[in-house]
Amino acid sequence: MTRGAHNPAVSVTEVHATLAPIDNDQIASQGLTTAEARERFDAGLDNAVPFDTSRSFWRILQSNLLTLFNAVVGGSFALLLVLGYWQDALFGFFIIANVLIGVVQEFRAKLTLDKLALVNTPLARVLRGGHIVELAPGAVVMDDAMLLRAGDQLCADAVVITANNLEVDESLLTGESEPIRAAVGKEVLSGSSVVGGEAVVRVIRVGADSYASTLTAEARKFSMVHSEIRAGLDRVILWISWALLPIGAIVVNGQMQAAGGWPVAIASGAWRDAAVAAIASIISMVPQGLVFITSVAFAVGAVKLARRNVLVQELAAVEVLARVDVVCLDKTGTLTESELILDSAESVGAAPEEVWGSVLRWFGHERNANATAAALVPRFNDFSRVHDERSIPFSSTRKWGAVGFAHHAAAGTWVLGAPDVLVASGVAATEEIVEKIDELAASGLRTLVLAHSALYLTKQLAEAEELPSGLSAVAIITFREKTRPDAARTLAFFAEQGVQLRVLSGDNPRTVASIAREVGLEVTGAAFDARRLPDDIDELAAILEKHHIFGRVSSAQKKNIVIALQRAGHVVAMTGDGVNDALALKQADIGIAMGSGAATTRAVARLVLLDGQFSTLPQVVAEGRQVIANVERLSKLFLTKTVYAILIAIVFGLALWTFPFLPRQLSAVDGLTIGLPALLLALLPNPKRYEAGFLRRAARICIPFGLTIGMAVVAISIVARVHGGYSVLDIQGASVITLTLVGLWVLVVLARPLDLVRLALVIAMYVSFIVVFALPLLSDFFLLSLPPGQLFMASLIVGAIGCVAIELVHQIHQRPRARGATN
């Protein structure tokens, strides 16, 4: 047997309470002695599972720190600090802030998730040295004898030793909501819950070898959510990184030559200023602000969702929400509340309802009543115990239970059970009753029949678990799963938004279809039986286009269905709460778990609905759309800068001209034309629905915008050189004026429509631009001064021409969209 690393944090003596001595010597002998338990614990045969509910702090830090962007920008930042030019290293703020935002947000999500897992950790009740003791689940060892009662959850795999009508719910593992009967010798699996009866079971698999741990082994592997924005930015930075090699060489050589040539620059120390200029050129090509603003937008979205009790485990998950076009729903726990409710109880015999109603009260209040019988209590709740009854407990194997009363208004024998079984056992029912039963069963309702015989249930019949003769149907009782009150409204929202739905359940296809109809989905007949689904993904995809409601879906099939939908070009969200949903949630583009679901499911999900409110999803999707729409708008600002920075770097490098900006001056321009506006624009409402291909759309406008701005900066440098006699500071001042004027007009264009907030933002940036030159404290820090008269006027004229060119480019870009809108 393969075991994980031994966990010293869990002690075999971690006993929370000694409950009671065991009176039954035979049962007591099934348990281990304290010495035997210690021996197994020391051998590593304990139930400690080496499983983190979420990513570790170091992995979170690694994913946010070790990126190509940080390598490029961080290297330049470090070099400036080494050279002593800290004023020109302001861009390093973006690295620190970007890493901090990502780490803090994702670590907070981790802490919340870990608390959820801790709250839902059950205690285990085992036999030790003739006593019943309660242990932390990790302190259970191989061969322990566990006592199970209704409401308990198994923490390890076991085999039943003794049982009294034990019924186990494996819905978290299989998706099948119908409890199963667990007789002596049957295996019961970790993660399942006891819903009826009691038993003593012997542990046969612990820790990482247990069924639940094995099922979730693949789910525990970490993977990043696929973000189109992040992938697009990574591609841009990768392209820039490769371009930096030849362009960087051109820039460095150009700056050294402009400083008098390599020998002179090195000998005179001018190489330091040349290095600063080269770094300014290189840094301006990297859209470091876009990475930062994207993180801000994601983080703000995550905080807003947290106020709605939605836990975002990875920031980029907010973006993926905007792209989802198919939502796969698990029925149990998502559309329904995992609770049976009484649908109807209808008389079909001669006995009056007050008589058979008192019998249903008995079944509902019986000590080992299962979930179905317990659903009778809300309606049949006025109960007083009758002392002369004799009963045969309900069994999921027999599918019936019985009770006999000797001296009671309901004297005789009463049987409650599955209609087909009782009719086959000789219970009298008219053809009309049989047809009614078949009709109800076909509708997906869980149907039971109450039958009565005047003959008393003798001791011999009870011990043999046999029914008396003369039974006839008295009442038909139907049950249904309780649907979430918000499910229909939420599904209607997705339909209006053009988001397709797939219901995937491990339950009976008829039951699934009934629930689907109840929440407003269109379905004819029964749901598609997943046992007929092909293994071939392409064939599966074809079926998924025709059928949307599925029953008897296994855990592996849920994952294959997600894969098939993805191969068909869909962006898939998967919701669920059970362990059987974990692999599908991990495979989906975005997994959404219910806060009340299994710890494993919450761990692999990108979003967790902490309060389990399905109705939160429309707000979640709306938030995702706002984030991605705003980030796309902002990307056009930042990528425009990348385009003009590359053009300027190449031109000035090849021309052997001194680069017309210091890094600190570019930081000032970026703050006015991009950075500060972006912080506000990222937070404004934006209901635009996302369409794939954001990088392609951005390139269509960023390239002409960037070329226009780059040519304006080159033009003002040419003017300065043609007239001659201007210092480097003069040319830098004129270049900053030209670049800022044209850059602000790009902001005007992309901020449209200019409502009051956006107009105020633009005006504030123009005023701030004047303040930077007018306020000595700022102008001295950024080494900025107004150039001489002619050069100053030239910078204004070139800037104005650049603004006109930007407006023309924008109008040309808008025309195809306008024509498309009128067609």
| Residues 290, 380 share a domain | no
In a domain, 798, yes or no: yes
Last residue of a domain, one of 588, 621, 654: 621
Query: Residues 465, 415: contact at Cβ < 8 Å?
Result: no
713 and 774: one domain?
yes
Which tokens go with 502? 């797939």
* 177 compared with 587, residue with greater pLDDT: 587
Cβ–Cβ < 8 Å for 452, 418: no
**pLDDT confidence bin for 772, thresholds 50/70/90:** very high
Residue 404 has pLDDT above 70, yes or no: yes
pLDDT given at position 19: 41
Range of the domain at 149: 15-53+124-215
Given a cut of 50, is residue 469 above it in pLDDT? yes
Q: What is the CATH number of the domain that holds 450?
A: 3.40.1110.10
458 and 380, same structural domain? yes
pTM exceeds 0.95: no
- For the cut 70, the answer to whether the pLDDT of residue 332 exceeds it is yes
Q: What is the pLDDT of residues 433-468, one digit of tens each?
A: 888 888 887 776 788 999 999 998 888 888 888 888
Q: Give residue 80's Cα distance to chain centre.
A: 41
- Specify whether 696 is located in the same domain as 753: yes
pLDDT-derived band at 415 (thresholds 50, 70, 90) equals very high
Does residue 73 sit within a domain?
no
Phi, psi of 574, rounded to the nearest 5 degrees: -125, 130
Question: Is 177 within 8 Å of 334 (Cβ atoms)?
Answer: no
Do 650 and 663 belong together in one domain? yes
Q: Is residue 86 part of a domain?
A: no
| pLDDT tier at 4, thresholds 50, 70, 90 | very low
Cα separation, 17 vs 537, in Å, equals 52
The CATH number of the domain holding residue 329 is 3.40.50.1000
Determine, yes or no, domain membership for 278: yes
**Amino acid identity at 457:** L
- Parallel, antiparallel, or unpaired: how do β-strands 157-169 and 193-205 relate? antiparallel
Nearest Cα to 769, choosing from 744, 749, 752, 789? 744
Mean pLDDT of 603-625: 81
Same domain, 318 and 261: no
Structural domains of the chain, count = 4
Task: Say whether both 683 and 793 belong to one domain.
Answer: yes
Question: Which backbone phi and psi does 392 adopt, to 5 degrees?
Answer: -120, 110
Q: Tell me the angle at which helices 288-306 and 617-654 cross, rounded to the nearest 10 degrees.
A: 170
Is residue 71 situated within a structural domain? no
Mark whether 790 and 653 lie in a shared domain: yes
Q: Are residues 718 and 739 in the same domain?
A: yes
Within this chain, do residues 260 and 359 fall inside the same structural domain, yes or no?
no
In order, the DSSP letters of 279-323 are: HHHHHHHS-HHHHHHHHHHHHHHHHHHHTTTEEESSTTHHHHHTT
Angle (CA) 693-697-703 rounded to 5° is: 135
Residues 452, 414 contacting (CB under 8 angstroms): yes
d(CA 662, CA 638): 19
Judge contact between 323 and 690, C-beta under 8 A: yes
In a domain, 223, yes or no: no
Query: Residue 532, Cα to own-chain centre: how many angstroms?
Result: 30
Average pLDDT, the chain: 81
Contacts of 546 (CB under 8 A, 6+ apart): none
pLDDT of residue 616: 84
Residue ranges of E strands in 80-185? 124-128, 131-135, 145-149, 157-169, 180-181
pLDDT in the model for residue 8: 35
* Spatial separation of the C-alpha atoms in residues 268 and 278, rounded to whole Å: 17
- The pLDDT of 712-716, averaged and rounded, is 96
Q: What is the pLDDT of residues 562-585, one digit of tens each?
A: 999 999 999 999 988 776 677 788
Q: Domain boundary at 462, 480, 498, which?
A: 480
* Residue 609 φ then ψ, to 5°: -80, 95
Q: The domain that contains 239 carries what CATH number? A: 1.20.1110.10
Place of tokens 């150039």: 787
Provide the annotated active-site residues.
Answer: 330
Structural domain includes residue 362:
yes
Q: Look at 113-127, 345-359, 386-400, 598-612 and tell me which has the smallest mean pLDDT.
A: 113-127
For residue 160, the domain's CATH number is 2.70.150.10
Report percent pLDDT > 90 for the chain: 22
528 and 450 belong to one structural domain: no
**pLDDT over threshold 70, residue 521:** yes
**Percentage of residues in the chain having pLDDT higher than 70:** 86
Cis peptide before 685 (omega within 30 of 0): no
Pair 667, 803 in one domain: yes
Lowest mean pLDDT among 45-59, 231-245, 412-426, 592-606: 45-59
Residue 173 CA neighbour count, 13 Å, CB half: 22
CA–CA separation, 618 and 742 (whole Å): 40
Domain end call among 461, 480, 499: 480
Mean pLDDT in residue range 249-263: 82
Residue 90 lies in a domain: no
